[in-house]
Structure 1
Amino acid sequence: MSEPTAPLSIVVAGGGTAGHIEPAMAVADALVDIDSTIRVTALGTARGLETTLVPERGYRLELIPPVPLPRKPNADLAKLPLRLRKSVAATRRVLAAVEADVVIGFGGYVALPAYLAARMHVKAHNRVPVVIHEANARAGIANKVGARLAQKILVAVPGSGLESADVVGIPVRAAISDLDRAALRAEARAYFGLDPQAPTLLVFGGSQGARSLNDAVRGAAQVLADNNIGVLHAYGKKNTIEPFDGSPPYVGVPYVSRMDLAYAAADLAICRAGAMTVAEVSATGLPAVYVPLPHGNGEQRLNAAPLVAAGGGLLVDDAELTPEYVAQTIPPLLTDPARLSAMSLAAAGAGARGAAHAVAAAGIELARSRRDRGQR
């Protein structure tokens, strides 16, 4: 009588920022949705948001030393080889401890050590295969290196710079991709203390907030109130905004843990254009004004461009987002139900809701194939 087969063990590597963690968690959810016996382990670092987000989602978290990849020559570049060796060694210990069958990486501080460790780690005479998902319109350094080692490469959009890649979109958790905004609107507005009837603007600049967004929207608070517009403003834990006592309510909070309810409460968003932000906002069908970061390699503008071209949002430069812009642009838009409805349909149509399961299925296929080879 043959022994029962052990559950698959899959490691997801996407620590650091929410833009890397959320796709990893969406895929983790999809993995156990496909096969509830799968054991999922998340890699992260002690300084990343994963120390909170991963346990909240119910997954095992293993910490490794971070490996920042500097874009320009600096002091960190000289420290890179030693940091990388230490992190790869720590990751190999994790892979051995959890008996990993496959690594699914999403870029960021923990991804490159995971790719290299998988390449070096041999289990049952087979190397641990690697699946890479690139969420940004331009691939990051970790995924560019990892793509040379991967057995499967998946990307959000064409033209990311990774060859032989399949386009699947960005993994989004089911609580967002399956969100019925209209059905939850009353509950969501009551949850945040918003006016149940007033058109509502959602403002957020990522987990850390964005000062330019904060200043522009808060500076137009009186005009928004005069046009009967409510505001839910997540200004960031490290920032502050001056309270505004108006009607409809202008609700300022440092952080929103229930983004599903925030999306449901809103009729329009003003936000950055990180890959995960664009994916979540479009998946819910929420129209948005996207404000790309003014620095970096321009990837945020590229992230939002297809959605804007489809009619699901507007694009404005950071320097042009002023209180005057908000006052002139937002009231006419939020008081035009027909235009909002058309933008909502365009946003929902441009989003990709099956990406999490596509990435999960690719990982499971490689893991099972590896198991089969090991048993021959």
Structure 2
Amino acid sequence: MAELRALLAGGGTAGHVNPLLATATELAALPGGAELTVLGTAEGLEARLVPEAGLPLRIVPRVPLPRRPTPELLRLPGRLRSAVRAASRAITDSRAQVVVGFGGYVATPAYLAARRLGVPVVIHEQNARPGIANRLGARWARSVAVTFPGTPLPGATLTGLPLRAAIAELVAERAADAAGRRRAGAAALGLDPQRTTLLVTGGSLGAQRINAAVSAGAAALDAAGIQVLHLTGQGKDEPVRAAAAGLDGYHVRPYLDDMASAYAAADLVLARSGAGTVSELAALGLGAVYVPLPIGNGEQRRNAADVVAAGGGLLVDDADLTPDYVTGPLLDLLGDGARLTAMSRSAAAAGIRDGAARLAELVVRAAGERP
């Protein structure tokens, strides 16, 4: 029998599932082993990724928590009771010693069920501004782990983000031979490792503002000798391809599974500032121009604040990312090798590379404290 039995609760988006799986990998590698069960929904990304990782998935009903009074609020109590019952069964059946929550729809019923059953809770919050579920669970959690300093949760411990396997491996490879990994990454993507390379991404869905502004400056970037790898988002590549037609150094893809090679080949990244992106780039020591999503609760701006303050990145408002910015300040930055190197070093100094190990330590400690 494994020394640790844990239920990991999180799902819906890659932001919840990726750190969950990274933590699961760390726990499974403990000397005494671990019996792990994942709590998720049938609709989220976890429904595919968790079984692919070889972990058992227990399903709970999806329970969105309305941020403001709506007719959906009237249905919340019944839905939540059903979800808590399902979470309670999963905890009991798995004989979990600890529940580890990563926020999102699944987390609230898991936290409530654990409290009812007297099982310790460990929470990980990925964003600088915590979500509703983790704000609730933090009130009685045994430990609260955060990705960014200053995240407003009581008694929080800074662990950083548990890095997904491909990025953790890239961190080690770059530490051993950054130049060799750059050449390998460039070769995998058909890039020239000798040219200064800008990686542009708006995430899997793409970002229209980023696509339009950078592609409008494509000719100027190419004329200055800058190589661009532009990931547009699914279904959003044709306008960018048209703008970059005939430019040998401007590479357009709608999506890329091998982000490790893209990061390995890049000198600078222009991207949104989701928690995963900011954490991965800092861990890798990659300078970035962050363009926070202009909607939502402002979490993306906060996510990037610390690494920007440390000198490892720049913040540009969505409205200020124009073709003039691309052909002006951005092009100037790309042409200044010393500044790019300094940004890289500052990003690395702000980055946390052992987030999974730090979180696993809190999990083991909480499991050992259960009466």
Asked if these proteins are the same fold (TM beyond 0.5), I'd say yes
In 2, Cα distance between equivalents of 1:117 and 1:183:
49
**Could you list the per-position Cα deviations for residues 197-232 of structure 1 after superposition, in whole angstroms to 9, with x for gaps in the alignment?**
221111122232222112222222222211222222
Matched, 1:347 2:347: yes
Q: SS where residue 269 of structure 2 aligns?
A: strand
The answer to whether structure 1 residue 18 and structure 2 residue 14 are counterparts is: yes
Deviations 1:51-91 (A, max 9, x none): 33334444333332222122222233222222212222222
How many angstroms apart in 2 are the aligned matches of 1:194 and 1:302? 33
Structure 1 residues 227 and 185, CA, compared in 2 at 3 Å: closer, same or farther?
Answer: same
| Closer, same or farther: CA 237–58 of 1 in aligned 2, 3 Å | farther
Correspondence 1:186 to 2:183:
yes
Q: Is the 8 A contact 2:2 2:34 kept in 1?
A: no
What is residue 23 of structure 2 aligned with on the other side?
A: 27
Once residues 198 and 248 of structure 1 are traced to their aligned partners in structure 2, the CA distance between those partners, rounded to angstroms, is 12
Q: 1:57 to 1:221 in 2, by over 3 A?
A: farther
Q: Judging changes above 3 Å, is the alpha-carbon distance between structure 1 residues 304 and 340 closer, same or farther for their aligned structure 2 residues?
A: same
RMSD (CA atoms): 1.9
Residue number in structure 1 paired with 2:260: 260
Q: Residue 198 of structure 2 aligns to a residue in which SS?
A: strand
**Deviation of the 1:36 alpha carbon:** 6.2
SS at match of 2:229: strand
- Partner of 2:272 in structure 1? 272
Displacement after TM superposition at 1:184 (Å):
1.3
CA contact (8 A) 2:2 2:35 kept: no
Residue 351 of structure 1, CA deviation: 0.7
Q: Please report how far the alpha carbon of residue 116 of structure 1 lies from its aligned counterpart in structure 2 after TM superposition.
A: 1.1
How far apart are the structure 1 equivalents of 2:30 and 2:114? 23
How many residue pairs are counted as aligned between the two chains? 362
Structure 2 residue aligned with 1:120:
116
Distance 1:10 1:200, change over 3 A: same
Q: Residue 152 of structure 2 aligns to a residue in which SS? A: coil
Q: Cα gap change, 1:362/1:342 in structure 2, threshold over 3 Å: closer, same or farther?
A: same
CA distance in 2, matches of 1:136, 1:316: 19
Q: Is the 8 A contact 2:3 2:32 kept in 1?
A: no
CA deviations on 1:83-122 (whole Å, 9 max, x unpaired) are 212222222222223222211111111111111121223x
- Aligned equivalent of 1:81: 77
Partner residue of 1:153 out of 125, 144, 148: 144
AA in 2 matched with 1:161: P
- Please name the residue that 2:130 is paired with: 139
The change in CA–CA distance for 1:51 and 1:203 in structure 2 (over 3 A counts) is farther
Q: Deviations over 1:339-375 (max 9, x none)?
A: 11110000000011222111111111222333xx4xx
8 Å CA contact 1:273–1:303 kept in 2: the answer is yes
State how far apart, in whole Å, the 2-side matches of 1:7 and 1:89 are.
Answer: 26
* Residues 44, 63 of structure 1: 8 Å contact kept: yes
TM-score (normalised: structure 1): 0.90
1:90 aligns with 2:92: no
Amino acid at match of 1:237: Q
Structure 2 CA distance, aligned partners of 1:7 and 1:196?
47
282-291 or 239-248, which moves further after superposition? 239-248
Post-superposition offset of 1:7? 4.1
Q: 2:196 aligns with which of 199, 216, 238?
A: 199
Query: Which amino acid letter does the alignment assign opposite residue 252 of structure 2?
Result: G
* Mean Cα deviation higher: 75-84 or 320-329: 75-84
Q: CA deviation at 1:300?
A: 1.1
CA contact (8 A) 1:45 1:63 kept: yes
Answering whether residue 45 of structure 2 is matched by residue 49 of structure 1, we say yes
For 1:124, the equivalent position in structure 2 comes to none
Classify the secondary structure of the residue corresponding to 1:207.
coil
- Cα 1:285/1:241, change in 2 over 3 Å: farther
Cross-structure match for 1:67: 63
Distance 2:318 2:150 in 1: 25
The 1:158/1:6 distance shift into structure 2, 3 A limit, reads closer
- Tell me, yes or no, if the aligned pair for 2:237 and 2:253 is still in contact at 8 Å: no
AA matched with 2:130: A
Q: How far has the Cα of 1:252 moved from its partner?
A: 2.3
Give the whole-Å Cα distance in 1 for the aligned partners of 2:222 and 2:204.
26
Per the alignment, do residues 144 and 67 of structure 1 end up closer, same or farther by CA in structure 2, a change over 3 Å counting? same
Partner of 1:190, secondary structure, is helix
Query: CA offset at residue 156 of structure 1?
Result: 2.3
Partners of 1:310 and 1:350 within 8 A in 2: yes
Question: What TM-score, normalized by structure 2, do the two folds share?
Answer: 0.91
Structure 2 counterpart of 1:197, which letter?
A: Q
Q: Secondary structure of the residue that 1:263 maps to in structure 2? A: helix
Q: For residue 34 of structure 2, what is the amino acid of its counterpart?
A: I
Q: Which SS does the other structure have where 1:34 is aligned?
A: coil
Are 1:29 and 1:173, in contact at CA under 8 Å, matched by a contact in 2?
no
Which residue of the partner structure matches residue 335 of structure 1?
A: 335
Whole-angstrom distance in 2 between the partners of 1:101 and 1:135: 23
Q: 1: distance between equivalents of 2:53 and 2:204?
A: 17
Contact 2:197 2:229 in 1 (8 A): yes
The answer (yes or no) to whether the contact 1:11–1:42 under 8 Å persists in 2 is yes
Matched, 1:164 2:155: yes
**Structure 2 stretches lacking a partner, 5+ long:** none
CA contact under 8 A between 1:138 and 1:159: conserved in structure 2?
Answer: no
- Residue 173 of structure 1 corresponds to 164
Equivalent in the alignment of 1:226: 223
What are the superposed Cα offsets for residues 274-317 of structure 1, whole Å, 9 maximum, x if unpaired?
Answer: 11211011110111000111112212111111111111011000
Cα pair distance change 1:247/1:238, threshold 3 Å: closer
